[in-house]
Amino acid sequence: MELGYARVSTSKQDLARQIDALTKAGIEQAHIYVDKKSGATTERPGLQALLGYARGGDVIVVHTLDRLGRTVRDTLNLIHDLHQRGIGFRNLADPVRIDSTNPDDPMGQLAVVLLALFGQMERTYAVERAAHARTVAAEKGRRVGRPSVVTDAQLAYAIQLRDGGATIAEITAKTGLTRSTLYRHLPSRPPERLTAETALAEEKPSPSTAPAATLPAAGSSACPTCGYEPSARRDLVPHRADLATVWLHLDDRGRVREARHCARCQPHSHVLVISCSRCGDGPLVTGTGTGTGPGTGELPVPVRDWFKRHGWVMTPDPLCPNHI
């Protein structure tokens, strides 16, 4: 039986061209396995399902060899394992055709090595070209990455609301922007200049900063950090939305503390927004550790470990556990 395999690197790319070529080669669509994942790893659901289904005497057909993998080692290891199991392999559109009817043919083995090497070189050059283009664009002051979804008017309105004392929950409700988008685009607050008068005023208790002993009893809607719970029903929805955000605080010793904050005790320092490329949700990272400042592209190791423990995939684009 002939089994087809098609792969693209991201969810936004289209598999139609490969599936059409495999179908024209006589392979039923029910026997074509697909993946939308980088070829830099062999841990792909479609590929693993194909390898589990294939039996001795079957032939795996791909459009081009680099659909199996983009590294020489993985590709050669995979083809060797198929040969050991008595499973054939052939390609459709490479300049050099490979057919496993004679797996011991030295020219066929050479063709596999050359095509696998060309696939790895192409991936390496593509990564280098992309990195060079980003560097040149940044040096010329151009914006790199996906287009911004925030207009100048929205950002100006959000700044006006924040300067007027509005909470993040109120700003999101009035501007229609998500919390992650706001933290990514809002400029940081200027540092406060304290005088003796303002310092003394801050030391005096106020209704909004009452001692912990006088806080309302903690319930399902109480802030786990300060214990505040709204008394008015209309305030519960934005309050719970604030508590749904995960904050990762990185201290000067490189330790990560996970917390949730209401609008009253919510930090307002620089934050690093890590959002899922599918749903836009994700935690906010703040603290004194390296890698959390604006413009840094490398996450601190403790923060990367937190994402790994919670089931995130960070490459090539961040994906939360709900969208892997």
Instruction: Provide the 3-class DSSP secondary structure of residue 319.
Output: strand
Q: Please tell me the distance from the alpha carbon of residue 78 to that of residue 73, in angstroms, as a whole number.
A: 8
Maximal C-alpha separation, the chain: 89
Q: Please tell me the distance from the alpha carbon of residue 256 to that of residue 253, in angstroms, as a whole number.
A: 9
Specify whether 206 is catalytic.
Answer: no
Structure tokens that stand for 102 in this block: 């004679």
Q: Please tell me the distance from the alpha carbon of residue 221 to that of residue 244, in angstroms, as a whole number.
A: 11
User: Radius of gyration over alpha carbons of the chain, in Å?
Assistant: 27
Q: Please tell me the distance from the alpha carbon of residue 104 to that of residue 64, in angstroms, as a whole number.
A: 21
Catalytic residue among 9, 38, 221, 277: 9
Per the DSSP assignment, residues forming a β-bridge with 248 are: 258, 285
Strand order in the sheet with 2-8: 32-36, 2-8, 59-62, 88-91
DSSP state of 99: B
Known catalytic residues are: 9
